[in-house]
Structure 1
Amino acid sequence: MIFKQNKNRKWLTLIYLTAFFLLELMVITNNSFLMSFDHSIQNLFGDITTPFNTELFSTITFLGSPIMDVIYLIVIILFLFKQDKKIASLWIGFLLISGNIISFLVKISVKRERPLQKIIPASGYSFPSGHTFGTTILVLTIIVFILPQIKNQSLKTTLNLVMILWLIVVSISRIYLRGHFPSDVIGSILLASTWWEFSELLYLRYSESIYDFLKLKSNDE
């Protein structure tokens, strides 16, 4: 089993999902409080706009782009598969494909326009942020499947913090470059966390059928 039973998982899924839907509703209805929040945060970033910061955050946003996240996750999938962790690699593959489909469907259903005065070109709709969604999935994957293999506890703790910091800086880069509103990146983290927890529930519900179909034992992942 790649996940253990946890009675709190259903509640976490419900909390994340409820928070996301409330935020999505505020976006769709152009809630005045949310718009004021977004614009106030954007104004703060406007005060620190410099050529150096623009170059820095442009590099970060490239490294945290959806395409790069897919590449990182494929490398992780291949790494786990080579370690005979077949179920884990298949689960991540399912999460990657289904998660990107869900994120895209939300984008085209909400149809939120991107912020004005973008520093670098960005096409498509704004809510949720594909960069932040993919990076959240990537960070959770590394924390759950890769870092536990490290025996040095202090190194593991440091890398956990680095992963969380990476998610933060990628999110900040999208706001700084005006590719997204702050609420877009918050919504992405909530959506990715919801789908992660729900996918764990799916695995726990159907794991026996999956192992039987693939003729694997529960300790073969």
Structure 2
Amino acid sequence: MINTKRPPKDTLIPGICFVVIYAVWAALVSSGSQFIHNFDNAVINIVCNNNPANVAFAKDFTNLGNTSVITIETIIVFIVLLIFKQYAYAWFTAGVMICANGYNWIIKHAVMRQRPTVKHLVYADGYSFPSGHSVGSAALFGVLIILTILLVRSKFWKTLLIIIWALFPLMIGYTRIFVHVHYPSDVFGGWIEGITFVLLGYSFLYHFYIEPKMIDMKRKQ
């Protein structure tokens, strides 16, 4: 079922804008730009501290963005959508997550940025840019925001869920900086990449499923 009152409009243009922003950001990171260096230092000085409570929280919360956890959550969302016969939304979810994480692997090996040299508070391997936790969480919870807008009719629950979904990638990104396994520019780049695939994925969904459905419903009225 489609919420015909206020479905989000086509997001192709915003998606293209995010592609450009991401390309510029990736180029700045890969070239070792002084701007990126200053950005990273400024954010690290604001975010990081040695407060035991903050350290414990960051070390625990960051696990919610692990690839295995995000994958399990994605599968659960996919199965639930299939159970409720929301097939287009299920494949939208799967498509966005597969593309975002697959592209993230490609970019990591293209840029080959090393992780911060300070002591890591949690285990992390592989290249640093972009943050896989940030990509995965931004993509998954971005998808959940889209699904909430489309499927939840209660204004109260819709608003509450959107706030919750938006907070998760922000907090996960914060913890990746706090535990010293990513530079802030890695996290920001991950957020941009995840959001880009959500916007492009929704544009595809809009043109090939939502818009035709809405036209068909209007014809039958």
TM-score using structure 1 length: 0.85
CA 199–147 in structure 1, closer or farther in 2 if over 3 Å, else same: closer
Superimposed CA distance per residue, residues 90-141 of structure 1 (whole angstroms, 9 cap, x where no aligned partner): 2211222222110100001000111121222211111111111111111112
Aligned equivalent of 1:44: 46
Aligned equivalent of 2:77: 76
Aligned equivalent of 1:197: 199
Aligned equivalent of 1:95: 96
CA 52–5 in structure 1, closer or farther in 2 if over 3 Å, else same: closer
- The answer to whether structure 1 residue 127 and structure 2 residue 134 are counterparts is no
Q: Which runs of 5+ in 2 are unaligned?
A: none
- The answer to whether structure 1 residue 182 and structure 2 residue 187 are counterparts is no
Aligned residues: 209
Q: Distance in 2 between matches of 1:115 and 1:2?
A: 45
Superimposed CA distance per residue, residues 7-46 of structure 1 (whole angstroms, 9 cap, x where no aligned partner): 5x23201210111011111101100111011012112233
Superimposed CA distance per residue, residues 151-203 of structure 1 (whole angstroms, 9 cap, x where no aligned partner): 43223212211221222111100010111111111111111122222223344
- The answer to whether structure 1 residue 143 and structure 2 residue 145 are counterparts is yes
Alignment of 1:16-35 (within 5 A): 16-35=18-37
Q: Distance in 1 between matches of 2:45 and 2:173?
A: 16
Aligned equivalent of 2:68: 67
Confirm or deny: 8 A CA contact 1:57 1:176 kept in the other structure: yes
Confirm or deny: 8 A CA contact 1:147 1:159 kept in the other structure: no
Give RMSD over aligned pairs.
Answer: 2.4
Q: Distance in 1 between matches of 2:116 and 2:204?
A: 36
Superimposed CA distance per residue, residues 34-74 of structure 1 (whole angstroms, 9 cap, x where no aligned partner): 1011012112233x222221110111110122211111111
TM-score using structure 2 length: 0.85
What is the letter of the counterpart of residue 124 of structure 1? G
Percent of pairs with identical residues = 22
Confirm or deny: 8 A CA contact 2:62 2:172 kept in the other structure: yes
Superposition misfits of 4+ residues, deviation over 6 angstroms: 1-5
Structure 1 residue 2: Cα displacement = 6.8
CA 146–207 in structure 1, closer or farther in 2 if over 3 Å, else same: closer
Structure 1 residue 80: Cα displacement = 0.5
Confirm or deny: 8 A CA contact 2:2 2:150 kept in the other structure: no
3-state secondary structure, aligned to 1:102? helix
